[in-house]
Amino acid sequence: MARKPTTQQLANWDRKYLWHPFTQMQEWEQENPLIIERGKGSYLIDTEGKKYLDGTSSIWVNLHGHRHPVLDRAIKKQLDKIAHSTFLGLTNPPAIELARELVRIAPQGLTRVFYSDNGSTAVEIALKMAVQYWQQRHPKAGPKNTFLHLKLAYHGDTIGAVSVGNITLFHSRFKPLLFPTLEAEPPYCYRCPLNLTYPSCKMACIDPIEQILKSRHRDLAGFIIEPMMQAAAGMIPQPAGYLKRIRELCTKYHVLLIADEVATGFGRTGKMFACEHETITPDLMAVSKGLTGGYMPLAVTLTTDDIYQGFLGTYDEFKTFFHGHSFTGNPLGCSVALANLQVFRQEKTLSRLPSKIKMLNRWLKPLGTISNVGDIRQSGFMAGIELVQDKVTKEPYPLSVKAGHRVAAIARSKRLILRPIGNVLVLMPPLSTTAEELKKMVKILAESIETLRFD
């Protein structure tokens, strides 16, 4: 039997062979990587047996904790049957059952499920469906081949998803590859682009959006938005009523509303889907991340019967939606996603969240007294703490000083895993995190911010 590699051997091989996402590899090659070997509940365990609180839900995917017995069993049980078969010309029981369950829990009116494998792809599918729908269902409505999105938006890393994104650091180099879009200011209340204050502003940031919809609706296939919280933008929440108003305007001007619930779906904001907070139904909705409880790559684009009907016709009309990939409707992913929804029901996950959300809010508030904390933003179990050089002027730290990265490094030394977005520290623990674990996470976060020094 081959001898198990040591931690140092694994670290050497990682530095020699791997290329990590969103990582400056020149710096990575100088570090000893943290190598996670196991997980249990809210904890990650490295190859040396050290335990770390998973403050990011392993990048926003884990819901019920690591090694949940129901999810583990679901994958093992499906493996005894089949790991994968094509979805082109065939189907399988887990994919069928999961689609039925998703339609049951989704915002009312979303009745069709299209499978893919990640959030970016789910968004790409929504964009392509929207354009093809207008061509086939309402060809006289206008060209309708572009999209409106918010500034600071992040909808994924594939070219279509990047085209409707607006994070300069991530996207600027790829501008020559992107298709043109329209963009509008987000409701970034802490740094309001209109220099107004909520709620006296009466959400004036929506007025320019209405003007765009009014003047360009014949060009617009859809308006894509992360409902309630722009996550990768730095956890920017939307004021009450904002999403509902956007839905009304899209309906008024005949523009499809695309909800990107990849980050906000499956309980993250306190409800199963963020759209539920304002009781709206989008025309298309992309979900992934928490879909399988953080176990398998799987994504879904849900849509309405009206959009589905726009793709029906005889074979030689070629109204078919020509999109798919090899692992569409993967039985392993669908099985564990079904188990994920089972855990939501059995453990009453959503009904147990409000008390923990209130506790998180209460424990986060005192961080506002720390000299370099400018803003604390929270929606359910999604929280962002924005670090600033000057509390009065809101002057941000230059990205070159890596303020967020330094705080995350301090937190790691205290056994809490965080992943900052620039100057914004993101805390998004598993929904199953206990009150005691949650309090410990916030305590370590506060201590790590207070320890930050630049002298």
- Give CA separation, 211 vs 208, 219, 225, in Å: 5, 13, 17
Q: Are residues 279 and 138 in the same domain?
A: yes
Contact 106, 273 (CB under 8 A): yes
Distance CA 331, CA 323 (A): 19
Output the domain CATH number for residue 174. Answer: 3.40.640.10
What is residue 171's predicted lDDT score, i.e. its pLDDT? 85
What is residue 1's predicted lDDT score, i.e. its pLDDT? 64
Neighbours of 167 (CB within 10 A): 18
Residues 6+ apart with CB under 8 A from 421: 232, 233, 234, 235, 384, 404
Q: What angle do CA 263, 69, 121 make, to 5 degrees?
A: 30
- Give CA separation, 385 vs 21, 315, 354, in Å: 23, 53, 20
Q: Are residues 228 and 290 in the same domain?
A: yes
Q: Are residues 341 and 356 in the same domain?
A: no
**Helix 242-252, helix 206-216: angle, nearest 10:** 10
Q: How many helices (H) and strands (E) does the chain have?
A: 15, 17
Mean per-residue pLDDT pooled into runs of 10, the chain (455 residues): 90 97 94 96 98 98 98 98 97 98 98 98 98 97 97 96 91 93 97 93 97 98 98 96 98 98 98 98 98 98 98 96 96 98 98 98 97 97 97 94 96 97 97 98 97 77
Domain count, the chain: 2
Distance CA 174, CA 238 (A): 28
Residue 225 counted as domain residue: yes
Cα-based torsion angle of the residue sequence 404, 405, 407, 411 in order, rounded to the nearest 10 degrees: 130
Candidates 291, 342, 270, 312; CA nearest to 122 is 291
Residue 3 counted as domain residue: no
Contact 194, 204 (CB under 8 A): yes
Residue 155 counted as domain residue: yes
Residue 90 counted as domain residue: yes
Contact 243, 279 (CB under 8 A): no
Residue 29 counted as domain residue: no
As given in the structure block, the two tokens for residue 306 are 């009206």
Q: Are residues 203 and 289 in the same domain?
A: yes
What is residue 22's predicted lDDT score, i.e. its pLDDT? 93
Q: What angle do CA 189, 193, 196 make, to 5 degrees?
A: 60
3-state secondary structure of 188: coil
Structural domain including 354 reads 34-64+350-451
Contact 415, 437 (CB under 8 A): no
Candidates 266, 228, 19, 244; CA nearest to 119 is 266
Neighbours of 178 (CB within 10 A): 14
Cα-based torsion angle of the residue sequence 416, 417, 423, 429 in order, rounded to the nearest 10 degrees: -90
Domain end among 316, 331, 346: 346
Output the domain CATH number for residue 374. Answer: 3.90.1150.10
Distance CA 293, CA 62 (A): 5
Q: Are residues 178 and 316 in the same domain?
A: yes
Residue 28 counted as domain residue: no
Q: Are residues 297 and 368 in the same domain?
A: no
Q: Are residues 376 and 331 in the same domain?
A: no
Domain end among 306, 323, 346: 346
